[in-house]
């Protein structure tokens, strides 16, 4: 596993974004772990988060042309901004970025998009938090295509939960096939389990036998 992946997993634990216990997801599934990107709450944390996104994007798409980074509102807004900054400062890639409004602006310049206005042929990469159903992507692709004939180049999320989406396949696989673009994550659930079951964080092993058993039971029921 790459060093930045290990560091990202421990970073999520340290700031309280990745927790273990008894939770209910938005889809109504009871889960023994939860990823809440709304827990990033300081400038330093968000700056570091952007560097993890940038590292993952460079690893997967470093040699490919990208014209625009797009962050679906609301959580995608700070994510796309910090990723764009990290790519410019750490990798020398000064890419345009944009995000959408939830409500159309009826004064000033108007419209649903903020930031770069896409043009025909531009390759767009979406920057998201955790995708379980792909709702935000399905909502925002039509907004972009209403502005220009863009090419969907990819989707990057922080964690791939590796569980079923609408059908039997994972949400990321469903989105990839529906929109014809690669979808990938900074880390997967497999990588989280592999790292935290062997390496302590704050002097404590977080995934003991009981937690691992609950995670496996959840995956047996909802895993893709």
Polymer length of the chain: 224
pLDDT at position 26 is: 73
pLDDT, tens only, 110-139: 578 999 999 999 999 999 998 766 788 888
C-beta pairs of 216-222 under 8 Å, 24+ apart in sequence: 217/32, 218/29, 218/30, 218/31, 218/32, 218/163, 219/162, 219/163, 219/189, 222/29, 222/163, 222/164
**Phi, psi at 164, each rounded to 5°:** -65, 145
The encoded tokens of residue 63 equal 């040699």
Of the candidates 156, 157, 174, the residue with the CA atom closest to the CA atom of residue 165? 174
What positions carry a catalytic annotation?
A: 105, 107
User: The sheet that has 111-115: what strands, in order across it?
Assistant: 111-115, 96-105, 68-71, 123-127, 151-160, 183-188
Domain of residue 169, residue span? 3-222
**Cα–Cα distance for residue pair 24/122, rounded to 1 Å:** 38
Kindly list the distances between the CA atom of residue 56 and the CA atoms of 61, 97, 100, 123, 143, in Å, as whole numbers in the listed order.
8, 17, 23, 18, 26
pLDDT at position 188 is: 96
CATH of the domain at 132: 3.40.50.2020
pLDDT at position 171 is: 87
Beta-bridged to residue 23, according to DSSP, are 31
User: Could you tell me which residues come within 8 angstroms of residue 96 by beta carbon, excluding any fewer than 6 positions away?
Assistant: 67, 68, 69, 84, 115, 116
Domain count, the chain: 1
pLDDT at position 69 is: 98
Per-residue pLDDT of the chain (224 residues; tens, 9 = 90+): 899 999 999 999 999 999 999 998 777 889 999 999 889 999 999 999 999 999 999 999 999 999 999 999 999 999 999 999 999 999 999 999 999 987 765 555 557 899 999 999 999 999 999 876 678 888 899 999 999 999 999 999 999 999 888 888 888 999 999 999 999 999 999 999 999 998 999 999 999 999 999 999 999 999 88
């Amino acid at each position: 596993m790459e060093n930045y992946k290990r560091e990202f997993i421990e970073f999520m634990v340290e700031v309280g974004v990745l927790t273990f216990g008894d939770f209910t997801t938005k889809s109504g599934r009871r889960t023994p772990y939860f990823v809440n990107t709304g827990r990033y709450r300081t400038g330093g944390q968000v700056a570091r988060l952007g560097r993890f996104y940038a590292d993952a994007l460079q690893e997967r798409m470093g040699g490919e042309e990208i014209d625009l980074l797009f962050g679906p509102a609301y959580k995608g807004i700070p994510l796309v901004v910090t990723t764009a900054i990290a790519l410019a400062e750490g990798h020398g890639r000064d890419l345009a970025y944009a995000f959408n409004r939830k409500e159309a602006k009826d004064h000033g310049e108007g419209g649903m998009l903020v930031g770069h206005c896409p043009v025909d042929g531009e390759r767009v990469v979406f920057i998201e938090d955790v995708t379980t159903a792909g709702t935000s992507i399905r909502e925002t692709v039509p907004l972009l295509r209403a502005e220009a004939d863009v090419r969907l180049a990819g989707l990057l999320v922080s964690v791939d939960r590796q569980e079923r989406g609408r059908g039997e396949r994972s949400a990321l696989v469903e989105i990839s096939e529906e929109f014809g673009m690669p979808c990938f994550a900074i880390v997967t659930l497999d990588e989280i389990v592999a790292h935290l079951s062997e390496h302590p964080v704050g002097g404590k092993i977080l995934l003991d036998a009981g937690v691992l058993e609950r995670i496996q039971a959840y995956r047996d029921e909802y895993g893709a």
